[in-house]
A and B are shown apart, each in its own frame.
Chain A
Amino acid sequence: MTVGKCRRCVPMLDTGLRAALYGGLMIGAAAALFYWLNGRIAGVSGIFGDLFLDRKNGHSPWRLAFVGGLLLGYLLVRAARPELGQIHLQASPVGMVIAGLLVGYGTRMSCGCTSGHGICGVARISPRSLAATGIFMLSAMITLAVVRHSGWWP
């Protein structure tokens, strides 16, 4: 599925918007299939964190497979369409460490991130996930506004 060929399918959207929509459909399909088949929430912070925080009961193989799949998916898209999936980092190494600590601590404290709460939880119409999604979006928008307009970039 190339972006160019589908100009007729979604004619009102430009290439970037169409790629965003198709990528979103793929994410939604992955979460849906994972729930239908394995009966589990495709929540990345939970699956990744439990790889090293909950090592008993033989859950490691599927968790490792899911996380490995994320990397594999990146490589497949990059191989098929090198112009997509480019990474332009915004924060300094110090900023990356601060942000990483906050993302790790925060997602485990609220039991979910953009995938578990934002995609799966909202799709389940879970009040906790709806609240969490609204809060982390708002918090990120305010943080970015403060960081960009204060001139201090971590």
Chain B
Amino acid sequence: MRPLVALGCGTLFGAGLTYAGMTDPARVLGFLDVFGDWDPALALVMAGALLVSLPAFQWARRHPRPLLDIQFFLPERFRIDADLVLGAGLFGIGWGIAGLCPGPALAGLASGMPELLLFVAAMATGMSLRSWRVRQRARAGEFECKS
């Protein structure tokens, strides 16, 4: 049942990204170009998403567990540390260069564009490099993110 829910939610998520225009790097960069010819459209993607997710996540706090599992799985890190700040900064540089973040890049793979496959392969390499760096520091339990 849980993989089926994941398939359904992933499909709705991918459809939403595509419908909203997030899969088009030209539109994403148009939104990020606040110092140039700013296109505010994609601010509405965030607004629309939060309109639903904000009450939904707050409402869930009143419940001990989700419908199909024994507990909610939440991140176990709470401090705003150097990894968070530096990581978000690096991610932003990549996002600003190509106009692609992980969700739209994966959804857009279905278009069959080889450049997107190149981006996703590089992204997977970057993720593996980070994982390797963490293991090298031998503090895996402390630093690895869990999904």
CB pair A109 B130 closer than 8 Å: yes
Q: How far is the CB of B59 from chain A (nearest CB, A)?
A: 9
Question: Which of A32, A37, A63, A107 is the one whose CB lies under 8 Å from B67?
Answer: A37
Per the bound structure, the CA–CA distance linking A141 and B36 in Å amounts to 10
Tell me the complex Cα distance, A67–B29, Å. 24
- A100 & B94 in contact (Cβ 8 Å cutoff): yes
B110 touches A72 (CB 8 A): yes
Contact of B33 among A31, A85, A96, A148 (CB under 8 A): A148
Please provide the chain B residues from 64 to 109 with a CB less than 8 Å away from any CB of chain A in the complex: 65-69, 71-75, 77-80, 83-103, 105-109
Residues A15-66 near B (CB distance < 8 A)? 16-17, 19-50, 52-54, 59, 61-66
Interface residues on B, range: 35 or more
The total number of A-B Cβ pairs within 8 Å is 503
Considering the complex, give the chain A residue whose CB is closest to the CB of B65. Answer: A39
Chain A positions within 8 Å of B78 at CB level = 127-128
What 1/0 mask marks residues of chain B from 30 to 70 whose CB sits below 8 Å from any chain A CB?
Answer: 00111110000111111111111110111010000111110
The answer to whether B95 and A72 touch across the interface, beta carbons within 8 angstroms, is: no
Cα(A93)–Cα(B45), bound, Å: 28
A16 and B98 contacting across the interface, CB-CB below 8 Å? no
Contact status B73-A73, CB under 8 Å? no
Nearest first, the 6 A-B pairs at minimum CB distance are: A69-B10, A23-B20, A24-B48, A104-B126, A139-B92, A73-B14
Chain A interfacial positions (CB closer than 8 Å to B)? 13, 16-17, 19-50, 52-54, 59, 61-78, 81, 84-91, 93, 95-115, 117-120, 122-128, 131-133, 135-145, 147-149, 154
